[in-house]
Structures are given as structure tokens and as C-alpha cells.
Structure 1
Amino acid sequence: MPTMPAVSAATGASSPPAAANAVVEDIYGFLRVLGDGTVLRSPEEPAFCPASFPSSHPSVQWKEAVYDKPNNLRVRMYKPSAAGRTREKLPVLVHFHGGGFCLGSCTWANVHAFCLRLAAEAGAVVLSAGYRLAPEHRLPTAVDDGAGFLRWLRDQSSAAADGWLAEAADFGRVFVTGDSAGGNIAHHLAVRAEADADVDVLRPVTVRGYVLLMPFFGGVRRTRSEAKCPAEVLLNLDLFDRFWRLALPPGATRDHPAANPFGPDSPDLGSVHFRAPLLVVVGGLDMMRDRTVDYAQRLAAMGKPVELVEFAGKPHGFYLHEPGSEATGELIGLVSRFLRSCEARAGA
């Protein structure tokens, strides 16, 4: 095990007190929490982020920047090269990575490879934004950082901003996307956008749609797909429960509003306008399949603008494990069509 930097954070665990140096939570060695609250993180990327994943694309330029200096939050920005553009300005895809709110980074090789292909084939500027992780920073910190990133994007539209982004980005055609935990962030940003003040303060940035890729939701009651998930698979129910224990406020259950959109204390989504459409993607083999389908079906029954698409036979996050696959290409094609449909709807 590599040397792991240590920080201090409360675990919120309800189990009996452990020795100060005892490991009370362990996520495959990449994140360990000790009895005194110390958090140990591995600096290495997981095995599913092999160096063989492409680090560049012939028709995409990219660079990295810090968008929140006090918290050292970074964004990787991707744009199709000028020679490959069919329009002067391109739609913007703001993307939030997954990892159960506890792991992940916009710099991981699998996230990077996916965003390269997304920018190239969707014909969009992709902004892959980091956010603070739990348990050092529990929810709703990640959602707050997502909202902060949209304010940073607004600032990039000014004449004094870095022209690298502004020369290609159409700030009036912004879409919020997220994978797993990032999909959860996208949901909460869509709900927050209900407030007129939140919308007005972002202008000229206008969010035209939200893409939830296998969103990470939870609940005390188990769904059928959760209960049937084999314990031996990498992404199993025990792992997701550990993520929630570390990410939610101390003492909260999985019915907390940050986890369960339909929990007893969650906002009434029936009264939320949802100013922009939602595209919800689920995998047929995803442990959270039933929960995600229920989410989309409930919104549809309320008359909300939601589209649900299932990739049969595909597991959670397949597009990150296989960024070069045909199925990932189909997913990007789906996203591209959703972008066009939202633009047509806005222009109607």
C-alpha cells in the first residue's frame, strides 16, 4: 500500500468507539478512516484507470485550471479544435465525476478519456469539474461546489476572462451532466434552479438541460436490484452503504434529502418546475437500476420533462471502464441528440 496523506475528519459512525489507530472504514485501500477520525487517501489511481487509456485526441484541445483557489478545486477543459468545428460557438457540457462523493477526480485517466471522446463526438466544450470529497467534506458540500462552479463559469463569460474558453463556448447553451455521484449533483442543481434568483445570478449562463448518468441515489428501503446485487462484485451494496455513511451528515440515514429525492424530508418535486429537461441513463445490470427507473418514472408521472434510456446488459459506469467502446459511442450519440432536442425546444 502506498504512503497515504492523512487529514482529520469525523466519521459520524454509530459503532462503539475504536482505538485511535484502528481502521473503522476502508474503501478498497484507497480511502481509510481511523478511529480518531484521521482520513488516509492513496495518491494512486485505481486499477480500472489504466495508462493505456488515451490521454489526447487529434481533434480536441484541453487544459487544466483552478476554479476555486481557497479549496484548490480544479477543472479540465476540453474543446474541439477550430478546424473540426461546424459552428463558431459550441454548447457547453459541465461534467461532474462519480465516486460515491468519497473518491474520484477530474484528473483520473478514465474520466479524462471519456471527456476527450465526449468533446470530440458531441461537438461540445466539456468542463470536467472537481469538488470537495467526503468524509472531510460531507454533503451538501459537493452540491455547493457544483453551484460554485456554475458561478465561476458565469465569470468566464466576461470580456476580461481567459479567451481560450470564451472563444469556443456558447454560455447560453450550457448542459449539466454527471456520472453516478455527479448525476446526484446534477439532480440537486436542477432542483436549486427553481429559484428565480439562482437563475438570474448566473446570466448570461443558461442551463438548457441536465444529463444524469446512472445517478447515485439511496434510500433506507432496498430496491429489488439492490437486494439482488452479488456481494463479490466490485460495486456492491456494502460499498455503496459505506459511501453513504461517509458522505452524509453524521447520524443521517440514506433517506436524507441528499441521498433520497423522495425521502420523508426531501423537497416536494411535484412543486419543482424543472426549467430544463432531464435525460436519465441507467444500465440494465446497474445495482441502482430500479431506484433510477423509479426516479424517472415518478418525475414523468408528475409531468416533468424527463427522458429515461436504459442500456441493457451494461453495468454501472460502463462508459468509464470502456471509454473507447461502441456502447460508449452510442451513449455519446444519445447525449448529442438530447442537446439538439433541448436547443430546438428552447427555440420553439
Structure 2
Amino acid sequence: MAAAHGRRRRVALPWPMRLRLCVFEAAIDATQRRDGSVNRFLFSLFDRRAPADPRPDAAGVSSTDITVDASRGLWARVFYSPLPSPRPVVVYFHGGGFTLFSAASRAYDALCRTLCVAAAAAVVVGEERTESERALDGVAPVLNARRSDLSWKAFLPVGADRNHPAAHVVTGDDDDAELNEAFPPAMVVVGGLDPLQDWDRRYAAMLRRKGKAARVVEFPEAIHAFYFFPEFLADDHRKLVGEIRAFVEECIASKQPTAQ
């Protein structure tokens, strides 16, 4: 966390962006119930949605919704452009602590369109909760202690505490568990003003400790989820898009057969 490095830093955000963040925080507080579930109807009043559109946008990206499991109301949105096949596929797990937002949320729709162009890939983003609000059989904090507690309650099975294995993706130095040989290279993005930054670095360190390739890209003045605000944080957003493009291209190149 920023405070963990000696002093708390404040970022000079434009007032329109501050106002948007205040509305977002108010929506989270108003819609989370004490038992960890979410008042979906109330949250839908704050969560702006974008319909799937098979017509190409200005960048040539189209989208369509597909049903994964009709009995549980599970579906996914696929973003694609008229590029020659084969092409890479990006599976994107949208933010919101595994409790909030949707594959149709306008912010994620815009981000996935950007990823589709940047990575020259098809992008698939799915729903992460069922209609029953079932907790995981086995969240990243929404960035204050009370919201964090509610998110943990929504995420973990009933009766479980934070010793549950699902709460410990980043393991200790003495952990002998090995990652699968096929575990791919990773790019870890760290915002210098993100309260989760220490966990980002620990994750990258864990991957390297286990012999996996991990590139850490630092954005010293970036807040949590800064990539949702390209109109206010254009330089960091532009740099991130470039880093994603370069990373995907390197991964694809490493899989190409070597000429003999």
C-alpha cells in the first residue's frame, strides 16, 4: 500500500473524475447487504450497460453475446474484428471483486474493445456470479475496510475465514507447490497509488520464484483501475495499451516455429 512505503500520497485528480468516483463508491455502499449479497436491482440503476452490437464500431470491433448455461443464466460477450485467423484469444475477468458489474457494463465494454484492437485478438468476457449470488466453493477489496469485509463475505463459502486456500493466491517463500509447466508468461501492472500494489508485486515475485516469466510494468502515479479513465489519464492509458500490444506480440512470437 502507499502508506506502507513511509507516507501517504495523494493524487491530483480532475474534479469530474473525483465526482464519478464518489458516485461509484456511494453505489457500492448502498447496494451491498450485510450478508455479502448485492441488491442487483438497485445496483443496476448505477451500472450503465452497453448492448452487444454486431455492427463494427469506428475501430472495426463488433460484439455478440453467447449463452454458456441457460439454466443458470450464465453468458459471455465476445469482441472481434475482421482480422485473419488464427488469432489470439484474450479471456478477460472483469473487475468488481467477483460481486459487482457485468460483461455488459459500459466501462468494461469500452475496455474490451480497446484490448481487441491493441492485442489484435478476440476478447471473451463472461459473467462471474450466478443469479443465486452463490459464494465461491472454495475479492479484491473495494478499497476500504468495511467494503473489504463485505467483499470477503460475498466471496468465501459460508463459515470460511481468510485462511481458505482461495484467499491465498500469493503463497509464502517456503511453499513447495509447483505451477503447471504450461503456466504462461505474465504481465503484472502496478499502480503506484493503488492500495493493492504490494499484492501485485508479491504475485510477480511468486511467479519468478517458481521459475515463471513475469514482466512488471510500473505506473507510479496511477490509481486503482486507472485504465477506465482514458479521458483523464490519457498518457498512462496509452502506455498501458502499448505494453499490452508488445506483450501479446512477444508471446505469439515465442510460440512460432523456428526456421531451420
1:331 aligns with 2:244: no
Partners of 1:113 and 1:38 in 2: CA distance: 27
Structure 1: segments with no counterpart, 5+ residues: 1-25, 142-180, 182-215, 219-233
1:250 aligns with 2:158: yes
1:344 aligns with 2:258: no
Pick closer, same or farther for the CA change 1:134–1:274 going to 2, 3 Å.
farther
TM-score (norm 2): 0.73
Shift of 1:331: 1.5
Shift of 1:92: 0.9
User: Aligned-pair RMSD on alpha carbons?
Assistant: 3.3
TM-score (norm 1): 0.56
Shift of 1:33: 4.2
2:73–2:130 Cα contact (<8 Å) kept: no
- 1:40-51 mapped onto 2 (5 Å cutoff): 40-45=39-44, 49=48
Partners of 1:281 and 1:269 in 2: CA distance: 26
Pick closer, same or farther for the CA change 1:135–1:27 going to 2, 3 Å.
farther
> What is aligned with 1:67?
68
1:93–1:124 Cα contact (<8 Å) kept: yes
1:281–1:308 Cα contact (<8 Å) kept: yes
In the TM superposition, what whole-angstrom CA distance separates every residue of 1:278-320 from its partner, at most 9, and x where no partner exists?
2211211111101111121122123222222122111111112
Structure 2: segments with no counterpart, 5+ residues: 1-26
- 1:23-172 mapped onto 2 (5 Å cutoff): 27-33=28-34, 40-45=39-44, 49=48, 57-58=57-58, 59-80=60-81, 82=82, 85=83, 87-132=84-129, 136-140=133-137
Partners of 2:38 and 2:198 in 1: CA distance: 33
Partners of 1:310 and 1:28 in 2: CA distance: 30
1:45–1:108 Cα contact (<8 Å) kept: no
Q: How many residues align?
A: 224
> What is aligned with 1:273?
180
Shift of 1:236: 2.1
Partners of 1:260 and 1:323 in 2: CA distance: 35
Pick closer, same or farther for the CA change 1:72–1:311 going to 2, 3 Å.
same
Identity of paired residues, percent? 31
Shift of 1:330: 2.0
Shift of 1:93: 0.8
Pick closer, same or farther for the CA change 1:255–1:262 going to 2, 3 Å.
farther
- Decide which structure has greater strand share: 1
Give the letter for the 2:120 counterpart: G
1:322–1:328 Cα contact (<8 Å) kept: yes
- The structure 1 segments of at least 4 consecutive aligned residues displaced by more than 4 Å after TM superposition are 43-51, 267-270
Pick closer, same or farther for the CA change 1:41–1:49 going to 2, 3 Å.
closer
